[in-house]
Chains A and B, each alone.
Chain A
Amino acid sequence: MKVTSTIERLRGRWDRVGRTARRVTAAGGALVLVGGGGLVWGLAAGGDAPVRTLQQRIQVMDGPKDDQRVTLDTTFYRPVGGGKGPAVLLGHGFGGSKDDVRAEAEELAREGYAVLAWSARGFGKSTGEIALNSPDYEVKDVRQLIDWLAKRPEVQLDGPGDPRVGMAGESYGGAIALLTAGHDKRVDAIAPQITWNDLADALFPNATGEGADKGVFKKLWAGIFFSSGMGEGPAAQENACGRFMPAVCDMYQEIAETGRPTPAAIEMLKRSSPAAVAGQIKVPSLIVQGQSDSLFPLDHGDANARAIARNGAPVSVVWFQGGHDGGDPETGRVRGLVRDWFDRYLERKAPSGGADDGFTVTRAGGIDSSTQSVVIEAAGTRTYPGLASGTRTLALTGREQTIHNPAGGSPASISALPGLGALGNLGDLGGAGLTSQLPVDMPGQSATFDTAALAQPVQLTGAATVRIKVTGKGDIPLFAKLYDVAPGGASPARRLAAPLRVEKADTGREVTVTLPAMDYRFDRGHRLRLVVATTDMGFATPPQPASFKVAAVSGLTVPAVPSLHTTAAPLPAWVWILPGVALAVAAGILVTGRGRRGRGRAGLLGSAETFDPARAGVPLQITGLTKAYKNGHLAVDDLSFSVEKGQVLGLLGPNGAGKTTTLRMLMGLIHPDAGEIRIFGRRVTPGAPVLSRLGSFVEGPGFLPHLSGRDNLDLYWRATGRPAEEAHLDEALKIADLGAALDRAVRTYSQGMRQRLAIAQAMLGLPDLLVLDEPTNGLDPPQIREMRDVLIRYAAEGRTVIVSSHLLSEVEMTCTHAVVMSRGRRVAAGPVAEIVGSGRRLEDAFLEIISAGNGSGVEGTAKVAGNGKGEA
């Protein structure tokens, strides 16, 4: 189902590793000496309003003694719409340049911000060497960029030389925002993303809390991080340090070689860390941290947030799906949050989204079955609760276990790897089947401790802790992880490992381990599993083979934030609009198209027209009736005649004379093009109530073949809605004369039986006007005679019968009156005796009339009109 797309996304992730790593960038600055360099105004083409930009090289002075001249490559995005706006400084990731943030810069410029993007020293076209966001170098550079901003006419000022300015950026660019805010009071708000709190802790994490000097070297990420600062081209070729400052390069090479930190290295890394200036960051801060981030995990964001909150500044924390490992970057959501933050704290507007949550976590809510993409939902709560709120302890089972470090440290467990972040999403959805297919732990290298199966789902938000006892010789790096054990198998809950180092544990030593911070749902029936492994591919582990014993001495303390509330993603507008539009269109379809034929079809409205009391006693009156079929054939042409009570009218004419068409119009089945039909003075329209006084049998019987004759009559009568006692069923059945066959299915009937049943149906309710089309077809002579008597008797009771027939003798014997039609016209009408004349047979008269009519239609009509006294 979803495997293909997952793999594709995964592949995409791998392709992006390089780029991801590059995010870790910096910026620098010192005094703006000269606004020199190439001064180019340009237009950045965007989908929306064009953003005018200014490309400029700004010279700054930095270094411990402010004596090193560096040229920074910058792009200034003027606020769209003119006027003054607050400024935003956008930093880029490690290995990137100012061009990486163009899209975001343009979006902000369109919102009225003056945005300055710059390539940090040592990156892009800026000169200088990478000093890792050092207060002596990069921070000084940025302070001079703020000076520069203060002189721009587009930038709003809080005071002389003090622009209203915010800073944002990812990773390296986020750290410089924090560091600058700690060193320069002019910064008014910051939005650092996926960045570090303490670079030493990031590269030498230690989950026992004993500090970076005993941490485990995060070798894979450190290597990627540093190599992405090497740059390309001649510098990278010339020396192994690329564009790094020699001191930084030496430090890295030393720690990477030994896998252990030196005090000097830790000192240098700490100087480049927001943690060093945490007490001075007093501006509103939006801390965005990635859930798929093993380089700067969530606890770095937590440390930044708590430090700034301690200073009394507003802090909001966002955990999104992406991060350095990959995963969904949620670009739109994150940029929207950053914009809202600046709107609120730089423009002092109310946030547009109305979301003033102190803590937002995005969660994979499921898979959209139509796009096969993971649906990300945001859950929020008012205040940031930290990593250890609402804890409870789940008992762990599992004996003390012995685990081994393989010689050479290989093969190693795999937890977090750059690019594997995409899998975190699926794990969140319970995609255990997928993630467990990747090798995770090697045999004999890990100890496992399980909780009981959960009676209720557990949403873990924060960092779980556990106390373990380790026994073994030497210096032991271990990796603690949390797994989600479904009935079908175990898989990592987020692919993150918490490394720890235990020393002096020859006789056993207990340590408290803080597991990786995460937001993860463990389903009902699942278990939580603590895994303690000896190796991890992302970290430096000793090559010496060794064995240790590990035991869990406490339960697993699990934090939760039950106040997190998910607001569903809004549906696209068309979901609501489309049915409404369809309803309107449907109404339009029904309302229009009434007019074309429909004067009289308004039914009871216009009753003066639909009912003519003067003719209430006339069973049938047809006036000027005309009907042309779609192919142009004129089936009925200006036909007029009327029938009086007590008459049996024969409708005569050769095939195609228009008899059946006339009868169909009489039943309201087809619409006349002109003229009208009135039954008892009421105009006939489709479904006109007066049709209930008409009984009809036209063009053959129509029955439900699967029902018996009796059921057919019964259901037909019930379909008319009239009371059963009005049906006179017995009389009708007598006419049908079906005997026992009445209870057989109609499909077994002969033609004559159906015919009789149909006539019986027409006579149900003893209608005042009975219309029969070829009633004697398929009847045998006695039945024909019987039928003739029935019709004569029926009319004699004051009702009216219309019979159309080919059998002239029948008409002659049955009918009192006749109307002769030919080619849609009436060619003769009157009492049968009159039409026949004395001493002639009807057949002769008929043939004569027809031939006269055919010879000259106009003449024929005139002739009929001449002797048309029969038209009463």
Chain B
Amino acid sequence: MSTTTPLNGRQAAAAPETGPGYDVRRTLPLRVEIVRQFRRRRTLVAFGILLVLPWILVAAFKIGGDPGPDGIPSLVDVATSSALNFALFALFVSVGFLLVVAVALFCGDTVASEAGWSSLRYLLAAPVPRARLLRQKLVVALGYAAVAVVSLPLMSLVAGTVAFGWGSVELPTGGSVPVSTALGRMGIIVGYALISQLVVAALAFLLSVTTDSPLGAVGGAVGLVIVSNILDAVTALGDWRDFLPTHWMYSWMDALQPEIQWTGMAKGTAISMAYALILFALAFRRFRTRDVVS
């Protein structure tokens, strides 16, 4: 190893606070974190499932034939009417669990896995300030989660176009929406799906900074959704159910009516945002004072 700066020169300098070129605002850039996360098998498997699922559904409909109405109008009755219908159906069947798992995976794994690999302490000693580390990781995790939520309907549109053709959306209650309107509605639906998953993301993130076990963080967030869904089934709770984090998870279906009903989505947004804000704040506070011993 060779000599770099002469000793005398270093002493003459007025005791630099940092190593050469260090700037806190440049630590852990987003694109570095994106690359760090992207090549993980977990990331690739999650995206793989989300991108393959629409084709599996297409195969299922091709094998099983077109669904017929069974008395209760639902999205599955009209799933094969057009690509947009198919995408809506794919979203409908995945929003309650698959997307929850995907979102919990990206947000729950991000800090806990670094702790598990022990790489967290080297990042913190680099030093990446804790709040900044958390912020950068959160942005990237939310970004991956959002791409995951968006990729499913997009791939469903592709698969649906190939399998069922492009056309206006048939509503399960009767009536149809032209493509131009339907694409806008689709945007609203996906946007709302993202917002409604925010509470899952926030809880997973909080658990992620609390535990060193990635699976614990992901499982904890998914567990919350399950418990919330169970409580939601207890109709005796009445209006209290309005404040369950998952109560409004399917409110995006209000955008599938002849006239969009905003009330449910507005309430769901308020609930999801409120929970998420508090959980994120708790995550930052927790991480700020936590002893990193992993």
Contacts and interface: CB of A to CB of B under 8 A. Distances in A.
A705 B4 CA distance: 32
Contact of B124 (A613, A667, A715): A667
Given A669-B121, A702-B119, A722 B19 contact: yes
B174 A430 contact: yes
A486 B292 CA distance: 64
Contacts of A594: 288
Contacts of B129: 686-687
B289 A593 contact: yes
Which of B33, B258, B262, B273 has the most chain A CB atoms closer than 10 A to its own CB? B258
B4 A766 contact: yes
A834 to B, nearest CB: 24
Contacts of B120: 702
A462 interface: no
Given A688-B127, A720-B22, A524 B29 contact: no
Interface string A683-703: 000111111111010111111
Given A375-B261, A667-B124, A728-B4, A699 B285 contact: no
A586 B121 contact: no
Interface in B233-292: 242, 247-248, 250-251, 253-254, 257-264, 266-267, 269-271, 273-275, 277-278, 280-282, 284-285, 288-289, 291-292
B281 A585 contact: yes
Contact of B40 (A706, A716, A735): A706
Contacts of B10: 768, 798
Greatest chain A CB density within 10 A among B39, B119, B175, B292 is at B175
Contacts of A365: 259, 261
Contacts of A431: 173-174
A793 B1 CA distance: 8
Contact of B176 (A369, A434, A525): A525
Interface in B118-136: 118-132
Contact of A669 (B4, B124, B277): B124
A719 B271 contact: no
A740 interface: no
A582 to B, nearest CB: 4
A632 interface: no
A611 B17 contact: yes
A816 to B, nearest CB: 16
A8 to B, nearest CB: 13
A682 B14 CA distance: 13
B257 A689 contact: no
Contacts of B257: 366-367, 429
Interface in A700-720: 700-707, 715-716, 718-720
A647 interface: no
Contacts of B11: 617, 645, 798
Contact of A689 (B18, B39, B259, B285): B18
A1 B282 CA distance: 38
A678 B59 CA distance: 65
B21 A702 contact: no
A488 to B, nearest CB: 6
A721 B73 CA distance: 56
A40 B14 CA distance: 97
Contact of B270 (A434, A569, A574, A735): A574
B162 interface: no
B277 A797 contact: no
B73 A579 contact: no
B20 interface: yes
Contact of B127 (A583, A586, A691, A798): A691
A583 B29 CA distance: 27
Contacts of B26: 721-722
Contacts of A766: 4
B274 A581 contact: yes
Contacts of A429: 173, 257-258
Interface in B151-199: 171-176, 178
A468 interface: no
B293 interface: yes
A744 to B, nearest CB: 13
B69 interface: yes
Contacts of A689: 17-18, 22, 24, 127
A211 interface: no
Nearest to B171: A430
Contact of A720 (B121, B126, B250, B284): B126
B285 A375 contact: no
Nearest to B22: A692
A734 interface: yes
Contacts of A366: 254, 257-261
A616 B13 CA distance: 10
Contacts of A450: none
Contacts of B69: 433
A278 interface: no
Interface in A336-370: 365-370
B253 A369 contact: yes
Interface string A559-584: 00000000011011011101101110
A579 B273 contact: yes
B71 interface: yes
B207 interface: no
A705 B176 CA distance: 51
B226 interface: no
B3 to A, nearest CB: 5
A701 B130 contact: no
A680 B281 contact: no
B15 to A, nearest CB: 3
Nearest to B177: A524
B291 A582 contact: no
A790 B3 CA distance: 12
Nearest to B281: A586
Given A1-B72, A429-B257, A689-B22, A715 B4 contact: no
A786 B253 CA distance: 67
A597 interface: yes
Given A681-B15, A726-B21, A765-B19, A370 B248 contact: yes
A587 B280 CA distance: 10
Given A667-B121, A761-B122, A766-B4, A572 B267 contact: yes
A368 B267 CA distance: 11
Contacts of A765: 19-20
B174 A432 contact: yes
Contacts of B281: 585-587, 589-590
B125 A521 contact: no
A693 B247 contact: no
Contacts of B15: 613, 616-617, 680-681
A225 interface: no
A793 B2 CA distance: 9
Contact of B273 (A582, A589, A690, A715): A582
Contact of A369 (B24, B131, B254, B288): B254
Nearest to A698: B121
A390 interface: no
Nearest to A375: B261
A798 B278 contact: no
Nearest to B253: A369
A726 B118 contact: no
Given A578-B270, A686-B124, A767-B19, A704 B117 contact: yes
A495 to B, nearest CB: 17
A508 B291 CA distance: 96
Interface of A: 1-3, 365-370, 375, 429-434, 486-488, 521, 523-526, 568-569, 571-572, 574-576, 578-579, 581-583, 585-587, 589-590, 593-594, 596-597, 611, 613, 616-617, 645-646, 664, 667-671, 680-682, 686-694, 696, 698-707, 715-716, 718-723, 726, 728, 731, 734-735, 761, 765-768, 790, 793-794, 797-798
15 contacts: A1-B72, A365-B261, A585-B281, A589-B278, A590-B281, A617-B15, A689-B127, A704-B40, A706-B41, A718-B32, A719-B29, A719-B32, A719-B33, A719-B126, A721-B23
Given A687-B127, A715-B36, 9 more contacts: A370-B247, A429-B173, A583-B277, A702-B120, A706-B41, A719-B123, A726-B19, A726-B20, A726-B21
